[in-house]
Amino acid sequence: MTAPLRRVTQRDIARMAGVSQATVSLVLNNRTDADVRIAPETRDRVLRVIAETGYAADPVARRLASRFNRIIGVFTYEPAFPSGSRDFFHPFLLGIEEYAERVGCDLLLFTSAPVVDGRRRIFHQDNRLRLADGCILLGREIDGAELQRLNADGFPYVAVGRRDDAGGPVPYVGADYAAAVARLVEAALRHGHRRLTYVGMGMTAESSQDRRQGFAAAAATAESAHQVAAAPGAADATLDDLLADGSTAAFVEDFATAVALEAAARRRGLTVPGDLSIVTLGDPTVPVPTDIVFTGFRIPREEMGRQSVEVLTGVIDGSAGGLQQRLLPCELVEGSTLGTPDPAVDRP
């Protein structure tokens, strides 16, 4: 099968015509008022490139063009650019940028929000939220009180990730963690695992709740399925818990914890997956050096970013057709860390 042709964008038109993207937008919107002057030869050149490429303006862009600033705000509850987190947030931002460019919107990253009680806040004395037509919210934990205020104010927004703590419905684009974890548990059961452990981080975010829910539902037929909270830097203590329980498969919420757990097992002469299978439940949130391809799943972060802009533009221009709450499927990774438990090993 041949790959589908990439959609021609305003950026492409601008490059081919040798003008700015703003000029292309003005030509497309037929702006001819006295405040906007485009030389006739420039307008003709842009129109010629549009005709040659068969470019068609996105209908969302047309709906937004006349009534809005066409500025989309992005607010991150956690720093998106420091080296510790940029690898995790980068795909979200790529998807957001791609779809915003497609519909001819600019992005405004709100960076002036102060940190209060260890967390960033949208609402503060000098917040500039209203400069944007709407806002995309990023962060593993989003403040429920601020979501309630956004709902009360009627300000258009979309959360990246499922949210249920706003005292009312929240528009969101999230990942279907429950279904992904359930599929991994079912795979472990097919391999013959009967004693399973969920290794969490003690977090209350909806993403963690969904993972735990998926584990509990799919592991209901197992001989043993319990959950433990792993303290940072306590891989050996976590391994002790697993061995004491006789668990043959660990489902680890945090990627870095999974890497540390595998190293602790190796130090004790255990093999993965021979003595212990380790399954990871998402992408690394911080860079973790390892050559191991863990069995687990990938979060559709770039697509979540794209669809969050798609949903937000529908909320802004009124075309959404009701509350939008989307959960996107995660991609399973076969990896090498889920195997069949050794029947010769004596377990409790």
Q: What is the CATH number of the domain that holds 26?
A: 1.10.260.40
167 with 181, same domain: the answer is: no
Work out whether strand 71-76 and strand 106-109 pair parallel, antiparallel, or are unpaired.
parallel
Q: How many domains, the chain?
A: 3
In a domain? residue 193: yes
Which residues are CB-contacts of 17 (< 8 A; sequence separation ≥ 6)?
23, 24, 42, 45, 46, 48, 49
3-state DSSP assignment of residue 183? helix
Distance in angstroms (rounded) separating the CA atoms of residues 124 and 60:
31
Residues 244 and 196 reside in one and the same domain: yes
Tokens 């008022």 found at: 33
| Residue 306 and residue 290 share a domain | no
Domain boundary among 283, 298, 313: 298
Higher pLDDT, 10 or 344: 10
Q: Is the model's pLDDT at 150 over the cut of 60?
A: yes
Residues in the chain: 348
Could you tell me if 39 and 101 lie in one domain? no
Q: How far is it, in rounded angstroms, from Cα 214 to Cα 218? A: 6
For residues 271 and 141, the answer to whether their CB atoms sit within 8 Å is no
| 187 and 277 share one domain | yes
**What pLDDT score does 56 carry?**
64
Considering the domain architecture, whether residues 196 and 282 belong to the same structural domain is answered as yes
With respect to residue 335, please indicate whether it lies within any of the assigned structural domains.
no
Does residue 211 belong to any structural domain of this protein?
Answer: yes
Per residue in 288-346, pLDDT (tens digit) is 889 999 999 999 999 999 999 999 998 888 887 788 999 999 999 999 999 999 765 55
Judge whether 308 and 96 are in contact, CB under 8 Å: yes
Burial class (CB in 10 A: 0-12, 13-18, 19+), 66: exposed
C-alpha 50/C-alpha 8 separation (Å) is: 9
Task: Please tell me the predicted confidence (pLDDT) of residue 347.
Answer: 52
Instruction: Note whether residue 159 is domain-resident.
Output: yes
Residues 284, 136, single domain; the answer is: no
Average pLDDT for 260-272: 95
Whether 211 and 293 share a structural domain = yes
- Dist. CA 286–CA 341, nearest whole Å: 30
**Structure confidence at residue 61 as a pLDDT band (50, 70, 90):** low
Model pTM? 0.78
The CATH number covering residue 184 comes to 3.40.50.2300
The answer on 306 and 294 residing in a single domain is no
- Quote the domain boundaries for residue 42: 10-57
What is the distance between the alpha carbons of residues 226 and 249, in angstroms, rounded to a whole number? 11
Classify residue 1: in a domain, yes or no. no
What residue type is 240 in one-letter code? D
Q: Residues 141, 218: one domain?
A: no
Please check whether residues 293 and 184 belong to one and the same domain: yes
DSSP string, 268-336: TT--TTTT-EEEE-S--SS--------BEEE--HHHHHHHHHHHHHHHHHT-S-S--EEEEPPEEE--S
Instruction: Kindly state whether residue 75 falls inside one of the protein's structural domains.
Output: yes
User: At a CB cut-off of 8 Å and minimum separation 6, what does 240 contact?
Assistant: none
pLDDT score at 247: 96
Question: Could you tell me if residue 215 is inside a domain?
Answer: yes
Percent of the chain with pLDDT over 70: 87
Average pLDDT over residues 73-93: 75
- For residues 272 and 10, what is the distance between their CA atoms, to the nearest angstrom? 50
When comparing pLDDT for 61 and 342, which is higher?
Answer: 342
> How many CB atoms sit inside 10 A of residue 58's CB?
17
Is residue 218 assigned to a domain? yes
Peptide bond into 273 cis (omega under 30): yes
Band the pLDDT of 118: cuts 50, 70, 90: low
Distance CA 121, CA 139 (A): 12
What are the C-alpha distances in Å from 233 to residues 199, 205, 230, 249, 259? 13, 21, 8, 20, 11
Residues 36 and 129 in one domain: no
